Each structure stands twice: as structure tokens, then as C-alpha cells.
Structure 1
Amino acid sequence: RAAAAASPLLPARLFDAIAAVAASRAADFNEQELSNLARAFATAGHEAPELLDAIARAARQRLSEFTPQGLATVSWAFAKSAHLAWRGAVPPASAQGGRAQGGDAPSAGPPPLRAALCAELLVEGRAAALNPAELAITLWAFATAGHTGGEPYRCLGEALMPRLFPPRGLEGQAISNAAWALATARHENPRLFSALAQAAAANIDRLGALDLSNLAWAFAWSSQVPVAEHPAFYSRLGPASLVRLSDFDGGSLSNLAWALAVASPSPDVLDAVAAAALSERLAEVHGSTALNVGQLCQVHQYHLWLEERGDVAEALPEALREQARDSFLGMAQLAPSSRMQRLVARELRAVGGVRSVEEEVVVAQGYTVDLLVQHADFGPLAVEVDGPHHFLSEGSRRPTGATQLKRRQLRSSGLRLVSLPYWELNELQAQPRRGRDDLRVCSASTSSPCGPSPGHWHGATSGQWSRLLERAVRDDQRVESADDP
């Protein structure tokens, strides 16, 4: 307990000595002592892989004895340490530092400690026993590890929803942590995200720059907090960010700019004064610390958003605009075309009325369109072949914020955009035709590669493809009509 309380003050040699002794005696510690040890070393940022290995082995044998606080503490400590026993063999992009360490053998599924903790949280009453802050930090811990699947996000989210508001509701950074975790995990629960947006609006004056950025990104990426349904949050986001603008660093600032671009081109989300201040701060941050490639790509989409709004006065400096566009184009060129996209291009070339099909076409805004189809009746069509990763989760038909932003900004440039989603491509059926490729699209969770399966060939007639294209064009026309005031 003393180590946990004073961990930042203890010398590294003392931590090493404690780790060496404790690792050999981990099996003798009770659950409180195990969680205290893990927390102390995580708080201090002191690497002790052998000790964490021992704690992981001991803890997972008796997780049923841990208090709710102990479960949350162990989850947080192992996630914070980025230890192999928690994050698995390959650290996700969002993991917080730490080099590869020893621990449980890598496997296709989650490591044993994380899998055991997930199972323990599913025991009736266990997730509900965590307090709001513990629920938020446990969600964060699983999402930081790149944990996929509906659980434990479903049970933790259900436990969290009725306790988001006073008295003793979720506050400040905990709201941001929960929203970020659920969005990172691609968890689909509009009611929960709506409740988080209400809680965030009520707490927005107590949120720091990083919290505001993470909330804006989470709501934008998950596409479950529409502006029209949550004016209280979005009307306060701009002013609250403006007050703290000097506290934003490059990452949090570019995330905020991108999230605003996703939310809506309406000035209600960010007025002209705030947009000008945000543009000025982006240029200032880039001049002093240099934004990385990913951040510059977000800035480019933010600039396109300013053009959508007609905010010429709030435009970014020319040098930053050009660098952001170059980064955006460079990233697009690194992305290979998918096998599904190539198959669709081949099929569309045989459709009546289609004069030509170009693949991977870069348009004026810098976006790469999957296919540019010249059609006798419809004219030029920007065709997006939308596989599972364009949608929030496996089986979901809700586009991610990134997909929605690309669609909207392409349409705003005057392109007629049509989307061919994977489930409609999967439904195309025809009589078996020897030598045809399998047009079925693998789901995100399929373990085998998406490829031809002998004896299960599926194709589609030219007429079926023509009807699919016509339907997609009609859908685009409905979207344009809905967007036209």
C-alpha cells in the first residue's frame, strides 16, 4: 500500500527490488495486494514484466474474489503498462507506450488475463457493482488493448447508462474516457451515446481540452450523436473549445477540427469567429511543433469543410493547406485497392449503358474514388465499393463518421456518388458459372481470406448489376433532395 501511495517518489532501484521479491511470492498475495502492486508499478511507469506476469497468473485464478474496485484497478494497471498479458501480441495504435514484454503466449484471441476479466464481468451482478468511474476506466482499459466484440462493452454500457447523471453520476474526464472507449471499440448503442452526449453537455464547462477533443472525435466517429438531436452539446462545444484553445496540442486540435467537419457544415456547430480562431491555432501549432501526416490529413478535411460552409475568411494559410493536401494525397496512394473493388469493376464493365470504368481515380478535393463510371443515362458516377470496415461494426449498416464525411464532401463538390455496400453485393445471386470469382464479401470477423470457394461459385447477371446501380443512383438522388434546403 505504501508503494501504491508513494510510487512516484520511490527510486527505481527500490522498485526493482520490490519487483524481484514480489514476483516470487505473487501466489501468496490476496486480491487487494495484487491489485495494489499492479497499480503502484503502473502509476510510477516502472517496467516490471516478470512481476506483471506473476500478477496476471495469480489474478486470473481467483478473479471471483476481487472486489469491483479491484477488477477495475487491475484492468487499468495492465492497460496503462501496455503489458503483453493485457494488450496481446500486437499493440494497437491507441495503446499508451511500452515495449513488447513477456507474459502469456500470444494467441488469436485476447490474452488469458483479459479474457478471464471479460468473463468475470459477465457474471450476473459483477458489472453492475462497479461505480460509474470504475465502469468508465474499465471500458477504457479494454478499448486501449484493442479488444473487439460486443462484450464486455455491452454489459458495462448497460450498467453505466442509468448512472450517468446526478446524484453520483459520471463526471468530467470519465465521460470522455467512456465515450472514447465505446467509439474506439466500434460499439453500436445509440441510446447510450445519446445519454453520454447529454451528460457531456451538462459537464462541458468542467472538461479540459483533451476531454473535449476525445468527446468530439468519439461522437463523430461513431456517427451516433447527430447534431439535430443534440443541439445542447454541439452548441456548447465550440464556445467551450474556444476558451481552452491555447491548451490544445496538435493531436487534440486536429481531432477536434476533423470531428467538427464530420458533424455538420452548419454554422450552428461552429460560428465564423470560432472557425477563424481554430484555423489560426492550427497554423500556430503546426508552425511550432509540426503536425504529423495523420493530423495533416484531418486538417485537409477540415479545410474542405470550411469550403463547404463558404468560410473564405476563416481559411487556413496557403502553405498549411498545400502541405495538408499533399499528405492527404500521399496517404491515399498508399492504400491498395481491394479485391472486391476489382471484381465489381470487372462486372460493371459488362453492364448495359456503362461506357467506361476507371479504378482509383483522384478527384479535385484529393479524395480517391473507388470507381469512376461513365454511364449513358446517368453521366459520370463516383462509385464507392463499401466493405465492412466502412461501417461501425460487424453486421452494422451504420456508416462510420469517416465514411459519412467522405460521402458528403464528394457530393458537395458536385459529384454524383453511389454506394455499393457489401451486404447488397453479397445478396447478388445467379446460376453457377464455371470460372467466375466468388463475389461474396467476407465479414470483418472472417478468419479465412475472402476468395473463391470451389463448389460455391456465385455470380450475377448483367441485369442484376444494372438494377443494383440504378437503385444506388436513386438513393443518391434522395440524399441530395434531403440535403437541399
Structure 2
Amino acid sequence: MRKPRYNSSISLNKQIMNTHSANELHAIVRAKGAGFDFFNISSAIARVPKLVGPAGGMQVRGLAMRSSGHVSAVVRGCELTAASPARCNRPLFGWTQNDSTAKALADDLAGLMANNISTFDARGLANSAWAFGKLKYAPNQKLPQLIAAAAIAKMDAFSAQNLSNLLWSFVYLHHRDEALMAAVAKQVACKVTEFKPQELANVVWAFASMEHYDPHLMDVVGARALALIDQFKEQELSNVVWAFAKLHHYEQGMFAHLLAAVKAKLPTSCPRWGVSNVAWALATAGHRDGALFEQLLAQCLSDIGSYDVQGLSNLLWACATLGHRDATFLQAVLQECTSRIERMSSQNLSNALWACAALGHADSRMLGIWAEAVLHKLELFEPQGLSNTAWAFAKLGFSSPVLFEALAEAAVGKLDAFTAQGLSNTAWAYATMGHYHPGLMQQLAEQVGGLGVSSFNAQNCSMTAWAFSTLRYYHPALFDALLEQLAGQLAGGVDPQNIANSLWAFARAGHPLGAHTEPLVAAAKQLLPQMNQQELCNTVWALGVLGQLDRDTWRRFCECLGNMQGLPPEGVHQAFHAQLMLHSQLAREAGRPLASLPAEQLPTLPDPLHSHAHYMWLTSAVDVHISKLQADVSAALLLAGIPNSMEWLTDDGLFSVDIAFQVDGQPVAVEVDGSHHYTNSTPRVPLSEVLVRRRLLQDRGWAVVNIGYLDWEMLPDGEQTRATALLQLIASRLGPGTTWQQVGPPAGSMDVQGLHSSSR
């Protein structure tokens, strides 16, 4: 005879299973829940996903006893890895917080389970966990912790199906428990022959989703999968392939065998998530199988409307990662995504934009629509998504001050969560677009200059240094940290581009190399033969600015540079500028005036490059524009009794002095420096170009006085008072040796305006 308690449990279970709505089930739980045993509780929990559907406010596109194969991915610079599951207590598909009945029901059942957890058997634990996993909801982290602890205690009693359901649920409960995963892995390895293809796929997918890597387990599971290969459905097999790629487990040829099975099954039918998973796996593994990949893309194109935007964005990422540029596929997928732009999550947007940038696909109309979508969803972007999005728009040359300002505001305060690649990509993006955001630059400098630089590779260092110099943001601690980090990697070998860009950045910012001068310069000289033309010009220009250019390096540079074919105007200008700096350095080393050195002692660029570069430089010297500040300073000097000329050519015609006059027979150059000659950061210090020009003019016999825009702004008001103060400032900078007994216009050459007049 059955006991009354048993009969009561059976009766309650029948009532539970006969409910047709969440309200009806909740009424039973509220009225009779105190008398539920674990069997009733687990039955009620398992019933919830079946009742909470469209009518209850939640459309479940879940998985019951199988894996979704849904891959969540994020871009890391030039890499992309599966993202960790989202935070707990965040339903992922459709259950709104306004569905109060469904939420209250789940909360009440979670409470009953927590209070009776010790009475649950293995099946009850697995089924209950599965139900909460399918709901993608847990009221807090306490319940998953209790389930994990209870499951570990009864692990030997779990069947293959129980293990599969339990582990699968924890992915969607967003709870990562190392002890539980280790215990499950041990059981799976022991019972692997009991697993069916579906259960095996769920287990390995769950381990990969939670980034738990057990090499022995993967070998065992792989062997079992190969033994059952003919029994796998396409979706299950694609999830196994995805998991092996996600965990980077390619040993013993298993991955290749699995892909061969996928290839054999593909012509029949492969679900859309299967196509997305396999493509993602191929890209992650770097496995180049053009025929298989083309099959996947063709299958997607044949039914593209059935793919959701997550799957499409993953396919775009796979194409970009493998460098597979199929214009037809790319256009079709982007058009489909654009038509459903409101469904694109922040992560979908950043991934797809990254792919477009990596593949060089720039469609201004599409980018405009996507930029609006980014602005609309900006608060939902994770730190890495912000970095990737800024990088992508900059790479594609999409100029939108509003967008970049908003991205900067969103990134400020989140930089501590950026990766090294994310930090350097962000800096690069803003420098590339010429968008200066003081707050972002300050926080980037502090983040990188602190502990952030320790994870930087040489490319990160060079990109960041280049970006800060380009945006004229000088932060000594940052440049010191980047210099130290870069120098520490020289022994392992550094790419020529990274050396060239870094030296250019340090030189432009006027940052001394200090103790790292010798190894960095030696590395640059050694890498000259491996550099392209622009890298060569950047390097030799930087060495000239830093005072590290010698005859031997110049000779090797000229040999590597070859002729002028293909060299852009910027490179020609840099090369000739470096030649001028070398000549000045040689004169100073010889202790002689530059003009006294014979021509044969001054090495030059090889012809015809030298003639071309010389002509370009002379042309640029007379192609001048007189700024308002320059005219105001000249007028003030005239008012102070100092006759002067603006844009006066030096005797060799290579430089046009801003304002020129003569004192006691000494030609004086007053160089008027606007804000663009200074750093954007405070304190505002002159860029190296100002100091180099000063040096080159001095070596041509000129006394040089720099009057910056801040100097001018600090002078007193009133024309005569300001003129007097300006003259006093110039006198103080010329030094006490100047008697000012003879003051007049410059002698020798002529001003540029006079040159233009005489040529007419």
C-alpha cells in the first residue's frame, strides 16, 4: 500500500502538470508549495518554460535538450574570441521585467528549491537547473551555487543526460564554478561511452562556452565523437567543431577529421547556426579550406533572410579573420544587416564594423546608418566594443565629429577595462581622424603610463606613441613608459615599422631616448634594409632630430632608399630635411661654421632624387602665408623703432625667416610660433620642429628669438606699451652682449614678397 505522503506527492504533480498558464501554476505554488517535495518542486520548475511563452510575455527560442550553438563574440584588435557569458539576472531573449507573474513564480520556486536542496536527487537537480537555464534567469547567484554544491556531492549518480543538462544550464545561468566543471569533466571522461551525440555536443559546447579547458577530456570526447560521427546531426556536429576551435584543441588531427565530417554533411542541410559556427571555427583555428568556406557562404546566401543578425555578424567576422573577401556575399550580408539595423546589438555592430574595416569595405551610406545606430545604442557598448568601433570607423575613413566625440565620452572612465590592443587602437583611431578629446587623451595617458603598459607589445607601443605625437599630446611619464617597454623587447626582435614609427613619435614630441639611445639607434640601423621607403624616411628624419644621424647611417639610408620612384612628397621632404640636419650636425662636430665646410664633405641624397628634393624644398620655402600674429609682431617692432622684413630668405634660399632685422651687424630671426607649433597638452611646450628650425637657422649665422602665441598674449595692452614690452622680451632673449647701437633691416638676400615681385 502506498503511503499518504507519496500519494499526496503524486496528486500534486498531476495538478502541476495539468496547469495551462503561469498564473494557474503560481496559484498552486502559493497555496500548496509548503507541502511540495523535491519531486513536486522540480516538476513545477520544469513546467515554467512551457507555460511562459508568447502569451506570458516571453518568446522562448531555447534549446530544451540540445545546444543552441549561438556564438557570442568580441573583437580584440586583429583577433576575436568568444565572449564570456553575460552577467547573471539578465534574461537574454524576451522575458521583460514587466512580466511580474512569471518572475514571481520563478522566484518562489527558486526559494522552495533552495530550502529543500539537500533532498534533490541527481535528475531533479539536472532538470531544475535545465529549466532555469532555459528561462535564462536566476534571482541571484545563491541558487546556482547551491545547485553546484549539491551536484558535486551526488556526482556519481548523474547520468550522461543529467550531466549534459546540468552543464548546459550553467552557461545560461551565467555561473562559472570551477569545482563543478572539474567534477563533471571527470564524470564525462569516465562515462563517455554512455553519451549520445546530442549529449556529447552539449557538454563540449558548455565547457567551451565557460572556457574550461581540460586537454584529456577533449581527447576523450574527440575520440567518442569520431566513433559516433555518422550519428551526429549537422547542428550537433557544428557545435562540437565550434567548441574544439574555441578551446584551441587541434591535437591528433581530430579537428581536421571533424571538419571532414562537416564537409560531407553540408550539402544535405546544415542549420543556419551550424553554418555560422563552422565558419567561426574555421576562422578561429586559422584553418584555410577555401572549398568548405565557399560552401558555407553559398548556403547562407541561399537563405539569408532566415539568419539572425548574430549569425550574420559572426560570418562577417570569419570572412575578415580569414581574409576572404567575397564582394557578393559581403554586400548581401551588409545589406541584410542594415535592413535590420534595429535588431543589431552593440556587439553585433562592433563586430560587423570591425569586419568591414578589416576587409576594406567602405560604403558611406551604410556607414552613416550604422553610425546613427551606434549613437543610439552607445550606452550598451562594452569597453572592447567601443575600441573596435572607433578603430573601424577610423580605418574606413568615416569622418563624424559627433560620433567620435560620443565614443570618447563613452570610453572615458572605462579605460581600465580596455585590453592593450584596445587602448592602442583607440589612440590610433583618434589620431587618424585628427579628433582631439582632452579628457580621453589624459585618461589614456594615465592608464597606459601606469600599469597598462606592462601588457603592451612593440606594435602597441609604436601605435600609441605615434598617436600621441600626432595629436600633439605630450605626457612625459607615458613616453618614458612606452620607451622602457619598447626597449625591453628589442632583444626578441621588433618589426621595422614599429621601430620607425616609435622613433618618429619620440622625435616629434622631443622626448629624449636617454639610456635607451644606443640600443634603439642600433636596432634602427640594423633594420634599415628591411624598411619600406616611408619607414626609411621616418627613421632617418627622427635620427636627425634626435642628433643621432651619422655619415655611415646616411650612406646606408641612401643605398636602401634607391631612386625617388614611388616616394611620396612627404618622404621627399623628410629625406631632404634629414640631409640639412646631418649637415648642421657635421658642422657642429667639426667646430666650424656650416658655410665654411666644402661641398665634398657634405653628403647628399643621390641624384636625381637630390635635385628633385632640393627643388621641392626651395619651392616650399617661398610658398608662405603671413599669419595675423606674425603681422602684429612685425607691426609692434616697427612701432618700437625696429625696421624689419617679414618672410626673409636665408642666403642659401632654404629658409624663409618669419621676421628679420639686423642688430650690431648680427642678423636676427624672430620666429613667430602659433598654437600649432606647441603641444595640445599642458604645459604647452614647443614641438621638436621649432627647436630643429632654430638650430638650422643658427647654423646659418642667425640669432634666433622665438615669440610664441602665449608670449604675445602675456604682453600688456596698449600698442606702445606692448611694443616696448616686446622689444624688452627680445632683448632679454638675445642676451646682454647685444648693444643695440646699430639696428636696421636685414642685409644680403631679400624677402619672399620681393622675390615674387621681381619674378613678375
Q: TM-score, normalised by structure 1?
A: 0.78
* 1:199 and 2:485 matched: yes
Partners of 2:365 and 2:724 in 1: how far apart? 63
Other-structure match for 2:625: 336
Bigger mean CA deviation after superposition, 194-203 or 7-16: 7-16
* 1:119 and 2:409 matched: yes
Partners of 2:721 and 2:704 in 1: how far apart? 22
* Stretches of structure 1 lacking an aligned partner (at least 5 in a row): 89-109, 432-457, 478-485
**Equivalent pair of 1:41/1:48 in contact (CA under 8 Å):** no
Other-structure match for 1:181: 467
Q: C-alpha offsets along residues 66-92 of structure 1, whole Å, 9 cap, x if unaligned? A: 222212111111111112xxx23xxxx
Other-structure match for 1:238: 521
**Equivalent pair of 2:504/2:541 in contact (CA under 8 Å):** yes
Within a 5 Å distance, the mapping from 1:26-37 to structure 2 comes to: 26-37=341-352
Partners of 1:379 and 1:49 in 2: how far apart? 57
**Equivalent pair of 1:392/1:400 in contact (CA under 8 Å):** yes
The alignment partner of 2:645 has SS state of strand
Cα offset for 1:396? 4.3
Other-structure match for 2:580: 304
**Equivalent pair of 2:634/2:644 in contact (CA under 8 Å):** yes
In structure 2, the CA distance between the partners of 1:26 and 1:290, relative to structure 1 (3 Å rule), is closer
The counterpart of 1:67, out of the listed 370, 382, 385, is 382
**Equivalent pair of 1:238/1:274 in contact (CA under 8 Å):** no
Cα offset for 1:472? 2.3
In structure 2, the CA distance between the partners of 1:378 and 1:364, relative to structure 1 (3 Å rule), is closer
Partners of 2:421 and 2:736 in 1: how far apart? 43
* 1:247 and 2:506 matched: no
* 1:4 and 2:294 matched: no
In structure 2, the CA distance between the partners of 1:35 and 1:239, relative to structure 1 (3 Å rule), is same
Other-structure match for 2:356: 41
The alignment-based identity, stated in percent, is 28
Within a 5 Å distance, the mapping from 1:249-328 to structure 2 comes to: 249-264=532-547, 269-282=548-561, 284-286=562-564, 289-310=565-586, 312=601, 314-317=603-606, 319-328=608-617
Q: C-alpha offsets along residues 429-468 of structure 1, whole Å, 9 cap, x if unaligned? A: 244xxxxxxxxxxxxxxxxxxxxxxxxxx55355323312
In structure 2, the CA distance between the partners of 1:178 and 1:468, relative to structure 1 (3 Å rule), is same
Partners of 1:262 and 1:248 in 2: how far apart? 19
Moved over 6 A (4+): none
Partners of 1:164 and 1:129 in 2: how far apart? 10
The counterpart of 1:137, out of the listed 425, 437, 443, is 425
Cα offset for 1:389? 1.6
**Equivalent pair of 2:394/2:429 in contact (CA under 8 Å):** yes
Paired residue type of 1:465: L
Q: C-alpha offsets along residues 56-115 of structure 1, whole Å, 9 cap, x if unaligned? A: 2222222232222212111111111112xxx23xxxxxxxxxxxxxxxxxxxxx22x222
Q: C-alpha offsets along residues 375-430 of structure 1, whole Å, 9 cap, x if unaligned? A: 2x473211111221221127644111111110111112221111112222222224
In structure 2, the CA distance between the partners of 1:319 and 1:310, relative to structure 1 (3 Å rule), is farther
In structure 2, the CA distance between the partners of 1:470 and 1:170, relative to structure 1 (3 Å rule), is same
Q: C-alpha offsets along residues 266-325 of structure 1, whole Å, 9 cap, x if unaligned? A: xxx34543232123323x142xx2433322222222111221232837543364333222
- Higher RCO (C-alpha 8 Å, min separation 6): 1
What CA RMSD, in Å, does the superposition of the two structures yield over aligned residues?
2.3
Paired residue type of 1:468: L
The counterpart of 2:709, out of the listed 394, 414, 422, is 422
**Equivalent pair of 1:19/1:48 in contact (CA under 8 Å):** no
Other-structure match for 2:496: 209
Bigger mean CA deviation after superposition, 7-16 or 316-325: 316-325
Bigger mean CA deviation after superposition, 387-396 or 8-17: 387-396
Partners of 1:285 and 1:202 in 2: how far apart? 35
In structure 2, the CA distance between the partners of 1:50 and 1:301, relative to structure 1 (3 Å rule), is closer
Other-structure match for 1:99: none
State which structure, 1 or 2, has the greater radius of gyration over its C-alpha atoms: 2
Other-structure match for 1:13: 328
In structure 2, the CA distance between the partners of 1:275 and 1:214, relative to structure 1 (3 Å rule), is same
* Stretches of structure 2 lacking an aligned partner (at least 5 in a row): 1-313, 588-600, 739-760
Paired residue type of 1:135: L
Partners of 2:717 and 2:430 in 1: how far apart? 43
The counterpart of 2:731, out of the listed 439, 455, 470, is 470
Partners of 1:31 and 1:332 in 2: how far apart? 50
Other-structure match for 1:447: none
Other-structure match for 1:162: 450
Partners of 1:304 and 1:152 in 2: how far apart? 37
Partners of 1:330 and 1:149 in 2: how far apart? 35
